[in-house]
């Protein structure tokens, strides 16, 4: 594995931007007003995370390729020393906000001793720019290097990445682009975009809405977003988690990615949970525990 210090120096120069604005508290909505919240937490879990005084959830603005974008920061209310960090990459396309859906996951990561930084991405939450679902918006993930560097409470030698669905795809892209992380975990990650956008496939119609030039640029768009096209560039330990009953991304994509990594001798683990859905709802505690254990195993 490449020396972390050298990677951090390279990326500090490559992704340096203006210092982030002051963090502001996030006002979390009521449980019943959050879309799809039942896929992520029960009312009791959400309340426990929302009312835990040991942690704070804030939002900061930072510069990404000349755009003002935002990220959520979840951390202990009182911090002594430096803590390892997880860059959390959300699922879906454009959202007004998403902190409520993932609050319980942030809480579990926080209790395990990690600071969480979760990019909201351009075009969402009032941020500038347009979300290209794995295009230029990848810069919003890459530019968190500078955000983390400016956080005195983050141990920059122990940064990890955790991505769900499209966020899993972006995590794989970040690995390809040499984001300085020690290990990564993905859940329901897109690994073959061509399969997902093929005629009659679930995302066929969405493709032309997200990418107006999809008809002309189909091959380039799909390849950029498909780790199965470049598995040799997966250079950090990768935990692949997938629901066996995932209706969004075929579990075969996780199997194919794992097979490619196996053939190349790459460090990985594959977990497919029988009967679990796209975000592994009924296995969410074990899912996050697996990610935490994976990160700890690869901590410096």
Check residue 265 and give left, alpha or beta (phi > 0: left; psi -120 to 50: alpha). left
- Report pLDDT for 166: 96
Is 169 in contact with 138 (CB distance < 8 Å)? no
Backbone angles phi, psi at 117, to 5 degrees: -120, 120
- The answer as to whether 167 is a domain residue is yes
- The answer as to whether 56 is a domain residue is yes
Exposed, middle or buried: residue 52 (CB in 10 Å: 0-12, 13-18, 19+)? Answer: middle
Q: Which domain holds residue 128?
A: 4-191+226-297
Segments in the chain below pLDDT 70: 1-22
- The answer as to whether 124 is a domain residue is yes
Backbone angles phi, psi at 54, to 5 degrees: -75, -15
- Report pLDDT for 162: 98
Is 240 in contact with 257 (CB distance < 8 Å)? yes
- The answer as to whether 209 is a domain residue is no
Number of separate domains in the chain: 1
- The answer as to whether 80 is a domain residue is yes
- Report pLDDT for 21: 56
Q: How far apart are CA 193 and CA 227, in angstroms?
A: 9
Strand order in the sheet with 154-164: 24-25, 55-64, 67-76, 115-119, 83-89, 154-164, 184-187, 238-243, 268-273
- The answer as to whether 173 is a domain residue is yes
- Report pLDDT for 125: 86
- Report pLDDT for 7: 34
> Six-digit token pair at 22?
């002051």
Prediction pTM value: 0.91
Q: How far apart are CA 219 and CA 217, in angstroms?
A: 6
Is 29 in contact with 166 (CB distance < 8 Å)? no
- Report pLDDT for 72: 95
> Six-digit token pair at 141?
């993930």
Beta-bridge partner residues of 116: 74, 86
- The answer as to whether 180 is a domain residue is yes
- The answer as to whether 208 is a domain residue is no
Which CATH number do you get for residue 176? 3.40.50.1820
């Amino acid at each position: 594995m490449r020396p972390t210090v050298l990677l951090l120096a390279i990326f500090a120069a490559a992704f340096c931007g203006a210092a982030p604005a002051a963090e502001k508290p996030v006002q979390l909505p009521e449980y019943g007003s959050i879309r799809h919240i039942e896929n992520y937490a029960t009312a009791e879990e959400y309340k426990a995370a929302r009312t835990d005084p040991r942690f704070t959830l804030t939002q900061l603005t930072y510069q990404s390729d000349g755009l003002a974008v935002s990220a959520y920061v979840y951390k202990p209310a009182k911090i002594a020393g430096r803590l390892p960090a997880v860059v959390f990459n959300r699922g879906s396309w454009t959202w007004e906000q998403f902190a409520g859906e993932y609050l319980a996951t942030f809480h579990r990561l926080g209790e395990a001793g990690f600071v969480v930084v979760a990019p909201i991405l351009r075009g969402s939450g009032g941020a500038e720019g347009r979300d290209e679902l794995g295009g230029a918006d990848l810069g919003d993930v890459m530019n968190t290097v500078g955000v983390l560097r400016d956080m005195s409470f983050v141990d920059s030698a122990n940064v990890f990445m955790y991505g769900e669905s499209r966020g899993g795809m972006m995590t794989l892209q970040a690995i390809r682009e040499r984001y300085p992380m020690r290990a990564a975990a993905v859940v329901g990650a897109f690994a073959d975009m061509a399969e997902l956008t093929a005629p009659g496939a679930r995302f066929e119609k969405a493709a032309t809405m997200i990418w107006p030039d999809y008809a002309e640029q189909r091959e380039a768009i799909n390849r950029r977003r498909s780790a199965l096209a470049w598995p040799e560039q997966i250079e950090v330990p990768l935990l692949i988690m997938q629901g066996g009953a995932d209706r969004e991304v075929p579990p075969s994509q996780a199997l194919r990615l794992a097979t490619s990594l196996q053939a190349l001798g790459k460090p990985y683990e594959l977990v497919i949970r029988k009967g679990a859905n796209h975000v592994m709802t009924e296995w969410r505690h074990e899912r996050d525990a697996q990610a935490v254990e994976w990160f700890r195993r690869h901590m410096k």
